Amino acid sequence: MRRGTQRITLRISKRVAPAQLKTLFRASGWTEDLARYSDQKLRRKLSRSHLVVTAWNAKRLVGFASVISDGALCALVDNLVVHPDHRKRGAGTSLLRRVSDELSRQKVKYVFILGTRGWHTREFFERAGFQSLSWNVFLHTR
């Protein structure tokens, strides 16, 4: 994928250095989430994810998507993060399409994603082929 003078390469791989992941999440404003996890917890998260797609500009991690799934019927994109310098240039859409294509290849029928609030969120996900559901979402935390 090429936008302007920056070339972005997508990879399907769980091999991401925890430090690179933390840097991306911090730059994206997600300081209370994965950016605070220990390296061990991040490695466990990566290894147990069903699918991980990353976006790279040379050796710099600029996008990340991870999926949890039963591998047969349902999948949930539990993280989709793009570095602020690469937003509105197609990186997020490319990550989502790659995720969708791979899950389709695996014959996973339903792909869900939870987005942040805001009118841009709905527009973004609909452009990427997702439809909004009028479901209630419930959360239990410990």
Tens place of pLDDT per residue across the chain (142 aa):
544 456 899 999 999 999 999 999 999 887 677 778 899 999 999 999 999 999 999 999 999 999 999 999 999 999 999 999 998 888 999 999 999 999 999 999 999 998 776 668 888 888 888 888 877 777 767 7
The Cα–Cα gap between 94 and 128 comes to: 9
pLDDT value for 3:
46
pTM comes to: 0.87
The string of DSSP codes covering 24-83 is HHHHTT-TTTGGGS-HHHHHHHHHH-SEEEEEEETTEEEEEEEEEE-SSSEEEEEEEEE-
The Cα–Cα gap between 47 and 9 comes to: 21
Taken in order 126, 123, 51, 56, is the CA torsion positive or negative?
A: positive
The Cα–Cα gap between 110 and 53 comes to: 18
pLDDT value for 116:
73
